[in-house]
Structure 1
């Protein structure tokens, strides 16, 4: 299989034609690499089981490895997760931003992306490209870091093409992305719990 083509895209003002091309790939079971506000992500349609399995295969990840997905806004999060008042207040403050929120899942979430205790990891990245893809597809997209099977996180689209291009259908080039993961916040309990500190500031959640 030929390596995926690279398509340049403006990270702040993504060109509609580039977004449409990527959305069309996602809608036809394809895999797209795209910039977020943290790592480059590898994405596919949340409801496309075959495409999700391709991501596991490409990154050589065990099926126990949990995948997060991107929602367009708080209204969309509330369709896929149970959001109580405490969680809602945190989401209002922190989204969009470099955070992954762990929340109890609703029945709309496919089994393949359910975490332990029927929870989900959801992001609203502060990234015009990622949000344009979700809005264009009209439902969430899986997002996992563009990392090679050896664990190296790839921050340059050319490296993504060289290491992962054989298993992708399109690479959106929004320039270099800093090598920094999202902050993971568990919102399933009465108080927010910071599971992993990354790019997102959590000083206000630790008091």
Structure 2
């Protein structure tokens, strides 16, 4: 059964966040809130966690996983960013955007797009996600909690606990955080491509 943690959406309890971070370091797969919707998350090198995310979401090997980072400096360790892209991303973060960029050697190979060698990165504007990332001290490997055949992500922690009780190890519930996933912007091909219109305003990239 998944552990259930009820946390304040703006002032998350430090002891709870510490407990969840410890469980992630020990190999846990969690469901947690972000500024766009709930997501599945685990440590970068957690092969079992990655496999479980693929199973839960029925993903193929072309799916772009996302590295959810606390800061811009941390993000820069995992992707190559030129000056123009740097300014564009810097202006939009933190926020409800995922950016697809060429990965550095710091990113485990199983997370890369098999042909493009790219990965998604983002910095969420959400107090609980930021507190967890700060406590963890490294990015979370993440994917939107959107189940196969469903049009919208789940928005209630209790419902996630109920439906994924034997699939995830912990659920971090801070209340409803919306149903709209991030806007996805691909910078990897030279030109800016809006892959998915979501919670983030696309006007600055059009």
| Superposed pair shares fold, TM > 0.5 | yes
Equivalent in the alignment of 2:178: 178
Moved more, 170-179 or 189-198: 189-198
Q: How does 1:116-135 map to 2 (within 5 A)?
A: 116-135=115-134
Equivalent in the alignment of 2:92: 94
Query: 1:44 offset after TM fit, Å?
Result: 0.2
Query: 1:192 offset after TM fit, Å?
Result: 2.5
Are 1:148 and 1:163, in contact at CA under 8 Å, matched by a contact in 2?
no
Q: How does 1:17-166 map to 2 (within 5 A)?
A: 17-115=15-113, 116-151=115-150, 153-166=153-166
Query: 1:31 offset after TM fit, Å?
Result: 0.9
Residues in 1 aligned to 2:124 and 2:200: alpha-carbon distance in whole angstroms: 11
Residues in 1 aligned to 2:64 and 2:99: alpha-carbon distance in whole angstroms: 13
**In the TM superposition, what whole-angstrom CA distance separates every residue of 1:101-151 from its partner, at most 9, and x where no partner exists?**
011100110011101311110010101211222222221111112223333
Aligned residues: 204
- CA RMSD for the aligned pairs? 1.5
Residues in 2 aligned to 1:61 and 1:84: alpha-carbon distance in whole angstroms: 30
Structure 2 gap segments, 5+ residues each: none
Using structure 1 for the length normalisation, give the TM-score: 0.92
Runs of 4+ in 1 over 6 A off after TM superposition: none
Residues in 1 aligned to 2:153 and 2:200: alpha-carbon distance in whole angstroms: 18
Change (3 A) 1:169 1:197: same
Residues in 1 aligned to 2:132 and 2:50: alpha-carbon distance in whole angstroms: 17
Higher fraction of helix: 1
The yes-or-no answer on 1:199 pairing with 2:199 is yes
Are 1:5 and 1:169, in contact at CA under 8 Å, matched by a contact in 2?
yes
Using structure 2 for the length normalisation, give the TM-score: 0.93
Residues in 2 aligned to 1:141 and 1:29: alpha-carbon distance in whole angstroms: 12
Are 1:146 and 1:160, in contact at CA under 8 Å, matched by a contact in 2?
no
Query: 1:36 offset after TM fit, Å?
Result: 0.1
Residues in 2 aligned to 1:24 and 1:57: alpha-carbon distance in whole angstroms: 24
Structure 1 gap segments, 5+ residues each: none
